[in-house]
Amino acid sequence: MKCVRRMSQAPHLSLETELRSQGYELIAGVDEVGRGALAGPVVAAAVIVPLAPGRPWFALVRDSKQLSARQRDYLSDLINSEAVAIGLGIVSNEVIDSVNILQATRLAMIQAVEQLPRRPNFLLIDRLGLSQCPIPQRGITGGDRCCLSIACASIVAKTARDRLMEQMDQDYPGYGFARHKGYGTAMHLASLRELGPSPVHRKYFAPVVDAVKGRAHPAPPFVSPAFLPGCQPERERNRVTSPTTDTPVS
């Protein structure tokens, strides 16, 4: 398989190395994808990477948003084969609608941590904190850009969710899920207005609500101004018609 090209500003292991020096052996990076989508689940991954140096693919890892689909697939295969442990959490659109997206994201992250076959000693989390989780942790703004473990989690979560959305594209054709992965592109919004929401749409997200309202109250049909009262052309208004025949009187 073609190697992923290198880019500048690679995430690093500085935080993991610092924590290991404090006695933490198993350090998991945690990240999510799909918070801003209009359809499908929110997916989180927890990844414990090996801290031993000498793995060339470390230098290729980036935040998943900075990689192409081919690059993510390549790296996801490497991470899955070489990581110490990987856990995945998936929270459906129904749960998102019932508890809100922030709480659903935290649920997905907790699920991912619980799915790890080895319990971590410390969590490095992109942005959020998990107060319900007793494991020591640190939320890091922009963690997927600077922390290797979090960046690996973002890649694993992104590739997993993309595959779910590709399957949903088969289950619910017409929306283009395989292309936009449920995000609010112009194509997606147009299909929402035309088809209405599918069973995997997030019913309380504003663009979905607006699409439903638009279908319930469609725009009135176009009526030519010539047929509206007071809108006849000047020449037509000046014509006199017979009250009995409705024909012009010369």
Question: Where residue 167 sits, what CATH number does that domain have?
Answer: 3.30.420.10
Strand partners, 202: none
CB 135 within 8 A of CB 128: no
138 falls within a domain:
yes
CB 154 within 8 A of CB 62: no
CA distances for 224 relative to 99, 221, 231, 233, 246, angstroms: 48, 10, 9, 12, 21
Q: Which pLDDT score is estimated for 216?
A: 62
Report the pLDDT value the prediction gives residue 217, as an integer from 0 to 100: 55
Residue 152 is predicted with a pLDDT of 97
Q: Is residue 234 part of a domain?
A: no
Pull the structure tokens for residue 105: 């994201």
Mean pLDDT, consecutive 10-residue stretches, the chain (250 aa), reads: 46 94 97 97 97 85 94 97 97 97 98 97 96 96 95 98 98 97 96 95 94 66 45 44 41
Give the pLDDT of residue 222.
Answer: 47
How many secondary structure helices (H) and strands (E) does the chain include? 10, 5
Q: Which of 18, 16, 21 is nearest to 50 (CA)?
A: 16
- Count the domains in the chain: 1
Q: Give domain status of residue 120, yes or no.
A: yes
The answer to the question of residue 204 being in a domain is no
Residue 224 inside a domain? The answer is no
Give the structural domain span for 161.
14-173
Assess if residue 128 is contained within a domain.
yes
Does residue 62 belong to any structural domain of this protein? yes
Q: How far apart are CA 155 and CA 137, in angstroms?
A: 20
